[in-house]
Amino acid sequence: MIPLGLTASYKTDDFIGKLINGLSVAAENDPPYLVHCVEGKDRTGYVCMLLEALAGASYQEIVDDYMLTYDNYYGITKASDPEKYDLIKEKNIDVMLKYVCGGNDYMNTDLKKAAEDYLRSSGMSDETLEKLEDRLTNKMVSQIPEEQQILFNTVLTYKFRMNYFRFGTGSKTMVILPGLSVQSVMGSAEAVAQEYEVFRDDYTVYVFDRRDDLPLSYTVEDMARDTAEAFKILGLKDIDLFGASQGGMIAMVIAQDHPELVHSLILGSSSCKVTDEQYGTIAEWADFARRKDPVGLYLSFGEKVYPEAVFEQYRDILVDMAGTVTEKELSRFIILAEGTKGFDVSGKMSLIKCPVLSLVSDDDHVLGKEAGELICEVMKDSPLFESYTYSGFGHAVYDTAAPEFQQRMLSFYSKH
């Protein structure tokens, strides 16, 4: 930890000297780096703007990231208050960028070069600058071979931010949309990458979390809209898409509404219609979260998604995991769980024109075997539809039947 004690004025020699000192230390140490002040808009805003420019971010990417602070603190967004949003942008981040660019037209300037020139003129050596850039752009972060790396990133828009990670070096694109979970999939990146290791050579695999800043009401259709937008921002297309449970519901909506994005679709323990009875289990989980009972939530979750023997094997681990759950995560879980209520795209399944494979287990205690049967019924006229039912693997068949489950997925993708 380096307590820099930066002043509010980034134009002073004291600020610049301390900044160069802090960034020089960063250049000698692997990220991630935590940069903070009080509200994250003045000193932190300036430092992050500089680092983002140095890493090659565009003007709009820097602005979008900076203005998230005003959304988080004051609820000011381009949509909610465009005049105030533009005024804050012009009086703050635009002024910072103009200063780093030496008073030049920052909107039409090479911001990376401007940041480099600013740091050099402030006393940073070329050697330190090169090291810092390499740290920021993953060139020095790890000696792990590229084909084994997991890279983390965030999609930023003026509407939302969405975290994701990716692995693999193949030319084809695969996207995994995980199911409803108590805690973010981002913390399970290594386990996910290991489970889907078989895809690394042929695919670049993206795993998306739900958006960070959830509204109070957030339906599966809303999740699909934001996730599809994230795909488009990243330029993803011809996607071999896999959705598990709620992630499968999101995937179905994307395949229906954005067929140009999806090459083929695999559904794991998912449903095209959530009945009141099926929602009952999910509602019970939400109740545990409302009562701020993470242990009860994790145990109920594990008991429903895993076969009995697997649940007993994981019981102590689930209790330990419950001890790390925050109130924010419980609130987030409630919103995502309630978003599944009333979901029904059974009448729109004919809109899916790509190859589809539905994989379920006959002992699913969350959505029931009826969920898979309904998908088979509404897709029966499609010559591109296939299904397979496992026996005894539970709702989390995509985990409990590994690695055979992933091999079956790869075989399906390969033939299409």
pLDDT in tens, 335-371: 999 999 999 999 999 999 999 999 999 999 999 999 9
Name the more confident of 200 and 40: 200
According to DSSP, the β-strands at 262-268 and 356-361 are: parallel
CA gap 333, 327 in Å, rounded: 10
pTM of structure: 0.70
User: Both 130 and 223 in a single domain?
Assistant: no
Distances (CA, A) of 198 to 13, 94, 179: 54, 46, 21
**Residues whose CB falls within 8 Å of the CB of residue 247, separated by 6 or more in sequence, listed in order:** 176, 177, 178, 179, 270
- For 163, what's the count of Cα atoms within 13 Å in the CB-facing half-sphere? 13
Name the more confident of 43 and 196: 196
Name the more confident of 13 and 186: 186
CA gap 234, 232 in Å, rounded: 5
The answer as to whether 245 is a domain residue is yes
What's the rounded mean pLDDT across residues 189-215? 95
pLDDT of residue 397: 98
User: Both 20 and 83 in a single domain?
Assistant: yes
Which helix (DSSP H) or strand (DSSP E) does residue 211 occupy? strand 203-211
pLDDT at 132 over 90: no
The answer as to whether 39 is a domain residue is yes
pLDDT of residue 348: 96
Over residues 28-63, the pLDDT tens digits come to: 877 777 888 777 778 888 889 899 988 888 888 998
Of 35, 87, 84, 92, which is closest to residue 66 (Cα–Cα)? 92
Over residues 281-302, the pLDDT tens digits come to: 999 999 999 999 999 999 999 9
pLDDT at 20 over 60: yes
pLDDT at 410 over 70: yes
Sign, Cα dihedral of 130, 135, 140, 145:
negative
- Structural domains of the chain, count: 2
The answer as to whether 141 is a domain residue is no
Name the more confident of 338 and 65: 338
The answer as to whether 190 is a domain residue is yes
The answer as to whether 396 is a domain residue is yes
What does the mean pLDDT of the chain come to? 91
Among 113, 136, 159, the domain-final residue is 136
What is the domain extent for residue 44? 13-136
What's the rounded mean pLDDT across residues 15-20? 85
pLDDT of residue 140: 46
User: Both 207 and 167 in a single domain?
Assistant: yes
User: Both 112 and 174 in a single domain?
Assistant: no
Q: Answer for the pair 259, 353: CB distance below 8 angstroms, yes or no.
A: yes
pLDDT at 141 over 60: no
pLDDT of residue 158: 77
CATH number reported for the structural domain that contains residue 370 in this entry: 3.40.50.1820
Count CB neighbours of 48 within 10 A: 20
Among 82, 106, 136, the domain-final residue is 136
User: Both 332 and 217 in a single domain?
Assistant: yes
The answer as to whether 4 is a domain residue is no
Over residues 211-260, the pLDDT tens digits come to: 988 999 999 999 999 999 999 999 999 999 999 999 999 999 999 999 99
User: Both 129 and 181 in a single domain?
Assistant: no
Of 191, 139, 176, 408, which is closest to residue 314 (Cα–Cα)? 191
57: left (phi over 0), alpha (psi -120 to 50) or beta: beta
pLDDT of residue 213: 86
pLDDT of residue 272: 98
User: For residue 151, what are the β-bridge partners?
Assistant: 166
